[in-house]
Structures are given as structure tokens and as C-alpha cells.
Amino acid sequence: MENPKSEILHVPTMAEMAAEGKQPEILFWVGCAGSFDERAQKITRDICKILNHVGISFAVLGTEESCTGDPAKRAGNEFLFQMQAMANIQVLDAYEIKKIVTGCPHCFNTIKNEYPGLGGNYEVIHHSQLIQQLIDEGKLKAEGGESFKGKKITYHDPCYLGRGNNVYEAPRKALEILDADLVEMKRCKSNGLCCGAGGAQMFKEPEKGNKDINVERMTDILESKATVVAAACPFCMTMLRDGVKHENKEQEIQVLDIAEITARANGL
Amino acid sequence: MIAQILFIIILAAAVYLFSKNVVKIRRNILLGRPADRSDHPALRWKTMAKIALGQTKMIKRPLAAVMHFFIYVGFIIINLEVLEIMIDGIFGSHRIFSKPLGGLYGLLIGGFEILALLVLTACVVFLARRNIAHLKRFNGTEMTKWPKSDANYILIIEILLMTAFLTMNAADHKLQLLNFGHYIKAGSFPVSSIISPLLPDSTGGLELIERGCWWFHIIGILAFLNYLPYSKHFHILLAFPNTYYSNLHAKGEFTNMASVTGEVKAMLDPSFVPETTGEPQRFGAKDVTDLTWKNLMEAYTCTECGRCTSVCPANITGKLLSPRKIMMDTRDRITEVGNNIDKHGKDYSDDKTLLDNYITREELWACTTCNACVDACPVNINPLEIITEMRRYVVMEESQAPASLNNMFGNVENNGAPWKYSPADRLNWAKES
């Protein structure tokens, strides 16, 4: 089905902007998953649509962006992490970047907390925080699109947004304007259960055990009886979708990113 | 007089032995690498007041929190009574605080009795949770015979001490009512008056019971003091410095290794000369002495409550990893290293290490770095930092990461992404709608 509003996305790169002598308000740090993972690419495009919708001038680094080094660091490869970090800081500083919004809690955590020690100082927010700010400022509502009224929605806290950085309310705020039936899982907020992907687990087989972590998380999701699981991290997205598939609940349960839900509610 | 001399000798010996063990543990902790935790003193005091003194992180499990609070408050407040017992013991006096405190004394003794009863009740409930209800949290691979016995010993000792305290008061109260000897009318006995009918009526028998319980109680406390350094119960002391020296950064932030920064800067800029700080250090941790003193202090602070393990996603799904085991292994190993130094001198090596002899690689690689264990710890212990340091050793010193992770490293290095995609395709998502 063709969405009538979906024209070719307007996504300027920093290089283009610099060539025109312009500086965007904010840099959108897309991240590796957001750039290459097919499912996450949709979220990336929705974040751009939201930015365009509210008229924030933004740009991406495009081919000049490189992995933040997060998976290398969590896996113990500090050399590789610092190589990546210093190269990225050089690029960011060359463009005199001040403010960054990320599409991934891992990029968010790494740039916000670990780059300053290596000389990279920026104001960094996660896209759920940007959405919250836009809602608070009255620039973003939930109108003109899909209605989530009365739908049972639950939110899965990504570790690096929640426990890692104490961001619990922003993504919930984005859901509260939907007039939906919001339910919390048994394990939520600081008690939230990991999806199983963090700490570089995304890139390896799990160790021997009696079940996979995303399958364990499914018990909380099923118990909540939610039909929409809101996510805020591309890795959680993959793990939760695999969990839903494992339980054969693809018809009943949708996993959607906060940005996708916001874009849909606004018909973007 | 003989009793006073005997008391002073026992007290001095107990204090001496305890200090000797504390000094040894302090020495062991300082075998760790340096870490600067001297910043933000005001915030540190506040953290300690909230988390150690105020026990705010216990609230997540309400029943355990209330029961633990009884024992905690009981312990602190009944220590006021112990102060009186000490003075009486040294000077041969009896209930020396009763005169100067007047009416307040009765109120205090009455309060101590009620607290003693609450402590007794809580200890019985805790024993039942461990030995009858067999709560999952108190089991697990690392909960071998000694840790289980340790927990039971602590609870039983506390029950015995409180029973002796109440029996002593009951006998004292009865002697007071009989106007016997130096047993002046002092104190109020809301709890012990219930058990006093069970005691004999002869003054001789009562005095024997009163003195017997007095000695049992105070020697018991001094013995318990000396049991602390060998037990998980040491947390009652270390919880305070351990929370004071808490990590004040966001939990998601991992330390940047300064030793690596120097080398990376030199690689990117050949004119850069890294600062050399003496002997080259090992990257990451192979043994406990590669960890920081704070990691080691945390190991001695751990009271094996298992809140960390009970929320660990790896442990919940049957993996080998248990954050509590990481802390217990670290403590057992640093104790062993310390004992080796005492026996064989500073440079002795027993060819054992924390990695492999205590903690396996399978445990390390099961961690998702989700910080659930760190968040759950009531005294701000961080097992994740130890896991990360050991991963760093395995990856950077041994190049022994799992093959799939080595592939990921290669992709990040060559393509700027953890997957095998061309960096030239990084903006392709913008071309579709």
C-alpha cells in the first residue's frame, strides 16, 4: 500500500550543508543498525519524517559516520573502541557539531558518556527524548494519522536508556498522548529485563542455558496482554521480534519503535 | 575484682585480634590498582547516608526490608546497652547509666527489650526462609556448604545473644523486686517480665542466671566481633565506606582506559609521546591484583544476598553466570593472595589466577552488560566492572575472544559497522521511502 505522503525523503548530509555554508540545529546520528538493518532503516526514516514534520533543521553524517565503538568496548576491545571514538570525534569536531540526537540507546550512551573523556563534548539526546521535548513544546501531537485509542501498549525499557542513563519517562511520555491503554510489564523500569542483545551478545551465539533471554522476556509481554510492544532500540527490536516469532504471535503482537508509533499517529 | 580483671583481659584480646584482622583486610584491599574516588565529597556523604544508613535500596523487596530493618536498628541501638555493659564490666558497677539518666533509663531499657524481641522474630523468619522455604535466591552453584552455614551461624548467634539479653533482664528484674543485694530498681522490662515467671525464685539461682547471661552475652558479642572478618556479616561495617566510594557516573558509562588512550593517540599522531608511568601494566584483569581497590572492597562488602543473581538475565535463563559468584570468587581469591603473602612473602606466586581458577570464560561471555545486578545491589556493588575488566584481558592480552566477536571486531575495523556492509552504502536507507 502506497502512503500518499511518502515522497522521497529529504535527508541532507553534513558535507552538503557545509558546502552551502549552513549549520543544522542538530545532527542525527543514525547508527549502524539504523543504517544497515532493514527493519531499523524504517525507524530511521520515521525519525527523519518527524524532524521534517516539525521543521527542525538537521543533517546526517552519511558515509562519514562510523560505528561508535560500543560493541567493541562492551566486548573488551578498548583499543578498537578508542580508535573508533577518536576518529568519530575528529569528524564531529571538524563540522563543529554541538547537539546530537541518536536513533539508538547504545550510540547515545557511548557518545554522551564515554566520548567526553576522549575530548568529544556534545549535547546528546536519544530520539525518545527529542519526541518528548517536541510534545512538551506543543510542536508534536498525535493527530492526522493512525489511531491507537484503546489499544493495549506496553513499553520495553532498553538497558542503556533505562538503567544505563535513567531515561524512563521520555518514551512513556511519547505513548501517553496516544490515548491508548498503556500497561506495564511485571519487570519494568529499573527492574526491566534485558532483551538479550547488549554487551555484544547481538553478535554472538548465547552461552549454554535453558532458554534464550528474549523468550524469557516474552512471558512478561504475553502476561501484559499488550498487542503493541513499544521499543526504543534497534537491537531490542530484533530480539523482541524474534521472541514474538518464537511464540507464533506475529498476527497478534506488533513490535514498533517509539518513533514509528509517533510517525504513524501523525500520518507521516 | 577478679571478674573485672578477667573482663578487661578478654575485652583487650578481642579488640586486638579484631584490629589485626581489619588491618589485614585493609592491606588486601590496597593490593588493588589505584582508582580516584575523592571527588564530590558532599554527594558521597549523601549517597552513604541514603543507601547505607537509610537502606533505601532494600525497599524493592518489602518483607526482607522490614525484617532487615529490625535487625539493623536493633543492632545499632542495643549497642548503647553494650556500652553500659562494658563500663560495668571494667569498673565492677551495675547498671551505671540508671542514676544519671533517671526516668529516661527505664524508657531506654524498655525500648531495647522490644527491639530485642523484633530482632529475635526477624532472625527466626530469616532462618525459616533459608532452611524451610528454601528461597531460590539463597541457593545456586556458589551457595556451597560454607556460605550457607555462615548465614545460619549469624542468625543463630543473634538469636542466642538476644535470648541471653532478655533472660539476663528477667533475672535482674526478679532480683530487683526481691530487693536483693546491689540489684537496684532500674529499668522497665516489658518483654522479659513475660519470661520471668519461668525462672527460679531463689536469689542464688537468679543471681547465677543473671551473671551467667551477662557473661555469655558480652563474650558472645566479642566473639561475634571476631567472627565478622571471616564472614559475609562484615558488610555491617564495609557497607559505609563502600557506598561512600560509589561510582557516581551513569551506569551505562564504562571507564576509558588511560593506558590505551596513550597508545591510540600515538598511532593516530606519530609525533605524540605517551606519558610513561613506570612498569607497563597488563590490559584488563587476569587476577585480583589487576582490579582496583574499589573492586576488592566491594568483594569484602558483599553479603551474598543474591539480589544481583536473581535479576541477572543470563542466570535467569540457565547460563553459568552469577554476579554473586563473581563477587565471592574475587573475595576468596584476594583472601588467598593475602594469606600467601603472610605465609611466603610478597613475591610468592601460587600459579593460580582469578581467571580460569575461579571464574570461567563461559561466565564472562554470558553477560549482557545490562546493569541489572548493579542496580539491584543494596550497597552499590558493581560485578559488571569486574566482568568487563576480565573481558579486556581475554581480548587484548590473549586475543581469545569468541570467533564471532572477532568477526565483529574485524567488521568494525574495516567497514565501520559490526556487520559486513560497505561503508559506501551507509546512506542507502535515505533513497527509499
Tell me the DSSP string of B19-47. HHHHHHHHHHHTTSBP----S-HHHHHHH
pLDDT value of residue B276? 66
Question: How close B240 gets to chain A, by Cα (Å)?
Answer: 23
Query: Residue B185: what pLDDT?
Result: 86
What pLDDT is recorded for position A4? 45
The answer to whether B293 touches B35, Cβ cutoff 8 Å, is yes
Which residues 380-419 of chain B have a CB within 8 Å of chain A? 388, 390-396, 401-402, 404-405, 407-409, 412-413, 416-419
- The whole-number average pLDDT for the span A65-78 is 98
pLDDT of residue B277: 61
Instruction: Output DSSP code: residue A183.
Output: E
How many whole angstroms from its chain centre is CA A118?
24
Give the nearest chain A residue to B267 (CA atoms).
A83
Chain A interface includes B351 (CB < 8 A): no
Yes or no, beta carbons of A198 and B368 under 8 Å apart = yes
What values do phi and psi take at A104, rounded to 5? -150, 130
| Whole-number pLDDT of residue A3 | 47
CB contact under 8 A, B409 and A72: yes
- pLDDT confidence tier of residue B347, bands split at 50, 70 and 90: confident
Alpha-carbon gap: A148 to the closest alpha carbon of chain B (Å): 23
Is the pLDDT assigned to residue B392 strictly greater than 90? yes
Torsional sign, CA B80, B81, B85, B91:
positive
pLDDT of amino acid B1: 78
The minimal CB distance from B408 to the residues A71, A84, A215 is found for A71
Q: How far is CA A103 from the centre of its chain?
A: 4
Short-list B81, B243, B293, B239, CA closest to B166: B81
Nearest one of A34, A66, A41, A75 to A204, comparing CA atoms: A75
Per-position DSSP letters for B214-228, written without gaps between them: HHHHHHHHHHHHHHG
Q: In a 10 Å sphere around its CB, with 0-12 CB exposed, 13-18 middle and 19+ buried, how is residue B86 labelled?
A: middle
Q: How far apart are CA B84 and CA B139, in angstroms?
A: 40
Give contacts of B290 with chain A, Cβ < 8 Å.
Answer: none
Torsion of CA B171, B177, B180, B184, to 10 degrees: 90
Q: How far is the alpha carbon of B342 from chain A, nearest alpha carbon, in Å?
A: 34
Closest chain A residue to B421 measured between Cα atoms?
A36
Rounded to whole angstroms, how far apart are CA atoms A245 and A260? 20
Identify the pLDDT of residue A1: 40
Name the strands in the sheet holding A152-155, side by side, starting at the edge strand that comes first in the sequence: A181-183, A152-155, A228-231, A254-257
Smallest CA–CA separation between A7 and chain B, in Å? 7
CB contact under 8 A, A160 and B430: no
* Rounded Cα distance, B373 and B311, in Å: 6
User: Is A63 within 8 Å of B423 when comparing Cβ atoms?
Assistant: yes
Name which of A159, A163, A213 is nearest B317 (Cβ-Cβ).
A213
Question: Would you state the pLDDT for residue B331?
Answer: 98
How confident is the model at residue B80, as a pLDDT?
Answer: 82
* Sign of the dihedral through C-alpha B192, B194, B195, B198: positive
Residue B409: closest CA among chain A residues belongs to which residue?
Answer: A72
What domains, with CATH codes, occur in chain A? 14-132 (3.40.50), 141-265 (3.40.50)
Contact B272, B266 (CB under 8 A): yes
CA separation, residue A2 to residues A38, A50, A148 (Å) = 18, 19, 21
Phi-psi region of B63 (alpha: psi -120 to 50; beta: other; left: phi over 0): alpha
B424 interface with A at CB cutoff 8 Å: yes
Chain B closest CA to A221's CA: distance in Å? 15
What's the alpha-carbon Rg for chain B, to the nearest Å? 28
Q: How far is CA B185 from CA B28, B91, B94, B299, in A?
A: 50, 20, 11, 48
Contacts of residue B383 in chain A, CB cutoff 8 Å? none
pLDDT at A14: 97
Higher pLDDT, A5 or B212: B212
Would you place residue B184 in the very low, low, confident or very high pLDDT band (cuts 50, 70, 90)?
confident
Rounded to an integer, the average pLDDT of A256-265 is 97
Mutation target vs A (from B308, B370, B387, B395; most A CBs, 10 A cutoff): B370
What residue in A sits closest to B266 (Cα-Cα)?
A83
* Number of other residues whose CB lies within 10 A of the CB of residue B9: 10
Q: Which of residues 186-215 of B touch A (CB under 8 A)?
A: none
- Per-residue pLDDT of A101-149, as tens digits, reads 999 999 999 999 999 999 999 999 999 999 999 999 999 999 999 999 9
| Residues B253, A204: C-beta atoms closer than 8 Å | no
Taking residues B272-286, report their average pLDDT.
79
Closest chain A residue to B428 measured between Cα atoms?
A35
- For residue A9, the model assigns a pLDDT of 85
Question: Among partner residues A3, A76, A208, which is closest to B319 by beta-carbon distance?
Answer: A208
Q: What is the mean pLDDT of residues A253-264?
A: 98
The C-alpha cell of A264 is what? 504513524
Mutate to test the interface with A, among B393, B395, B412 (most CBs of A within 10 A): B412
Give SS3 for B168: helix
The answer to whether A60 touches A30, Cβ cutoff 8 Å, is yes
Question: What is the torsional sign of CA A222, A226, A227, A232?
Answer: negative
pTM: 0.95
B180 φ, ψ (degrees, to nearest 5): -90, 130
| pLDDT tens digit sequence for A166-198 | 999 999 999 999 999 999 999 999 999 999 999
Residues A77, B374: C-beta atoms closer than 8 Å? no
| Mean pLDDT along residues B282-294 | 97
Residues 247-266 of B with CB under 8 A from A: 249-254, 256-257, 260-261, 263-265
Residue A57 and residue B406 in contact, taking contact as beta carbons nearer than 8 Å: no
Closest CA to A159 of A138, A113, A190, A134: A190
Place B433 in a pLDDT band, splitting at 50, 70 and 90. low
User: What is the residue-averaged pLDDT of chain B?
Assistant: 94
| Band of residue A2 on the pLDDT scale cut at 50, 70, 90 | very low
Q: Which three cell numbers stand for residue B425?
A: 552504502
Task: Confirm if B409 and A80 have CB atoms less than 8 A apart.
Answer: yes
Contact between residue B238 and residue B51 where contact means Cβ atoms under 8 Å apart: no
Asked whether the beta carbons of residue A117 and residue B256 sit closer than 8 angstroms, the reply is yes
Evaluate if residue B2 carries a pLDDT over 50. yes
* Per-residue cell: A227: 498487542
CB pairs < 8 Å spanning A and B: 220
Strand partners, A154: A183, A229
pLDDT at B33: 96
Q: Which of A194, A214, A215 to mutate to test the interface with B (most CBs of B within 10 A)?
A: A194
| Rounded CA separation B390/B405 (Å) | 15
The B residues from 295 to 334 touching A (CB cutoff 8 Å) are 311, 313-314, 316-321
C-alpha–C-alpha distance, residues B3 and B9, integer Å: 10
Q: Are the Cβ atoms of B393 and A76 closer than 8 angstroms?
A: yes
Main-chain dihedrals φ then ψ at residue A61, nearest 5 degrees: -80, -20
pLDDT average, residue stretch B174-203: 90
Asked whether the beta carbons of residue A78 and residue B409 sit closer than 8 angstroms, the reply is: no
Cross-chain CB nearest to A44 (options B368, B372, B429):
B429
pLDDT score of A11 more than 80: yes
The 10 Å CB-count burial string (b at 16+, else e) for A112-142 is bbbbeebebebebbbbbbbbbebbeeeebeb
By CA distance, what is A62's nearest residue in B?
Answer: B427
Chain A residues whose beta carbon lies within 8 Å of the beta carbon of residue B401: 75-77
Q: B72-121, pLDDT tens digit by residue?
A: 999 888 888 889 988 998 998 899 999 899 889 999 999 999 999 999 99
User: Which has the minimum average pLDDT: B173-187, B207-221, B382-396?
Assistant: B173-187
Q: Which of A28, A60, A67, A157 to mutate to test the interface with B (most CBs of B within 10 A)?
A: A67
